[in-house]
Amino acid sequence: MLENKVVVITGGTRGIGRQIALGFAERGAKLAIIATGESKQTFQTIEELKQNCSEVGLYLCDVKSPERVEEAAKRILADFGHVDILVNNAGITRDNLLPALEISDIDDVIDVNLKGTILVTRAFIRSFVKNKCGNIINISSVVGLMGNRGQSNYAASKAGIVGFTKSVAREYGKKNIRCNAVAPGYIQTDMTEVLDENTVEQIKQSLPLGTLGEPADVANLVFFLADECSRYITGEVIKVDGGMYV
């Protein structure tokens, strides 16, 4: 049961993160949404969440900044009293072939995707230990498992999340803290909307299930991992990829 659970979601106002947030709200959870900055979409999502959520807060935070992450975590714990579930979803892409990648393309992707996941988890882990309970769900990518042309920086960041997930699961399992990762394949979000029709069709033909996934496909797995019905699962990386990597 997820009713009245306090859930922190990074990158929770767009794409997969938005779908995860809306689903938790429908299930009666209380939400602390961490977003990078203010935008029309950010506030639209927050207003939509408030229609189904008894308590929702927006916390603007650059997840690659240790100081700002710690500050946001303190505010969330002060506002909600505790946190039950952490979903590290914030992520970006800067795709290009390796020689064409700018140093900033490498730094930004590693800092947001991997460092951000580490910093946010680090900020809440003491609270989980204190409460002798916690559930961490990291959004990785199938690309972090199999690699992909033109995404060496992204693949490295998502592969790092896999290793981080398994390490946290080993470190804190005896404290009743679980840590798992979800690895989406091609999901219909703003990240895939930049692809032309021919590329999308080629991708579909390469997938055993023959279609792109939807944000809800990823969110449904997150809800399973967040629920007590998955209480004996930790340190796992579960793909949602239509058979892209089998």
Is 246 domain-assigned?
A: no
pLDDT at 191 over 70: no
- 73-100 tens-digit pLDDT: 999 999 999 999 999 999 999 999 999 9
- Number of structural domains the chain divides into: 1
- Distance between CA atoms of 155 and 217, rounded to whole angstroms? 21
- 108-123 tens-digit pLDDT: 999 999 999 999 999 9
Is 1 domain-assigned?
A: no
pTM: 0.96
Mean pLDDT of 182-188: 95
Is 159 domain-assigned?
A: yes
The conformation of residue 227, written as its DSSP 8-state character, comes to: S
CATH number of domain containing 83: 3.40.50.720
Helix (H, G, I), strand (E, B) or coil at 179: strand
In sequence order, which residues have a C-beta less than 8 Å from that of residue 83 and are 6 or more positions away? 6, 7, 8, 32, 76, 77, 124, 127, 128, 134
- 196-222 tens-digit pLDDT: 888 889 999 999 999 999 999 999 999
Is 187 domain-assigned?
A: yes
- Distance between CA atoms of 8 and 40, rounded to whole angstroms? 21
Could you say which of 154, 186, 232, 245 is catalytic? 154
Is 245 domain-assigned?
A: no
Is 176 domain-assigned?
A: yes
Domain assignment of residue 94, given as a range? 6-239
Band of pLDDT at residue 233, cut at 50, 70 and 90? very high
pLDDT at 195 over 70: yes
Percentage of the residues of the chain whose pLDDT score is greater than 90: 89
Catalytic residue check, 172: no
